């Protein structure tokens, strides 16, 4: 990619990240192009579909997911404490953009979703936490990773749509964690 094309690409992704955070994932692509200082044609050459732009914006998020799960795996406490800490981090990860929790949660487990690869990263992170707790933990044997992602994502979606802060979300996540324990 030419240097000027790479600058345009990087600028579009940077501006899209900000606009999606402000307005949600359904924000106008023409507005993103304008704010990035490029024409709509330039945006669409780099990102033929909205999902392509979402994918590029989410790549840094994927890196953050991996860093966050690494930290969550070192959290000390009971199995419930580890699980609740991870759930709080999970909600924070998918709630960085308005509308993000609903978009990500509805795509979870959908092989036709254009953001499926990103959802798989999140599901894998969730699997790592559940696996670390192991078969000898207080975690129920029938815990399904995708179901847990959807449940925590549901709490995050409610929080996102209702404008709830972390203090209001924690008790809901505690109920969920308790339900997953034996």
Q: At 144, phi and psi to the nearest 5? A: -110, 130
Q: Give pLDDT, residue 135.
A: 66
Q: Determine whether domain 49-180 maps to CATH 1.10.357.10.
A: yes
Average pLDDT value for residue range 86-100: 92
pLDDT in tens, 115-147: 888 889 999 999 999 998 876 778 888 889 999
* Superfamily for domain range 1-48: Homeodomain-like (1.10.10.60)
For residue 14, what are the CA distances in angstroms to 7, 11, 18? 10, 5, 7
């Amino acid at each position: 990619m030419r240097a000027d094309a790479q600058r345009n690409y990087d600028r579009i992704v940077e501006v899209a990240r900000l606009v999606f955070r402000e307005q949600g994932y359904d924000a106008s692509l023409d507005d993103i192009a304008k704010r990035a200082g490029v024409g709509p044609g330039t945006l669409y050459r780099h990102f033929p579909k909205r999902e392509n732009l979402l994918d590029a914006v989410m790549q840094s998020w994927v890196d953050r997911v991996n860093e966050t799960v690494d930290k969550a795996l070192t959290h000390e406490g009971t199995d419930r404490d580890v699980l609740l800490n991870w759930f709080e981090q999970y909600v924070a990860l998918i709630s960085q953009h308005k509308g993000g929790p609903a978009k990500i949660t509805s795509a979870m487990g959908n092989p036709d979703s254009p953001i499926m690869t990103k959802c798989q990263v999140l599901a894998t992170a969730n699997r790592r936490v559940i696996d670390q707790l192991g078969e000898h933990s207080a975690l129920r044997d029938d815990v399904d990773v995708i179901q847990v992602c959807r449940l925590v994502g549901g709490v995050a979606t409610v929080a996102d749509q209702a404008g709830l802060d972390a203090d209001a979300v924690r008790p809901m996540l505690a109920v969920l964690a308790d339900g997953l324990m034996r």
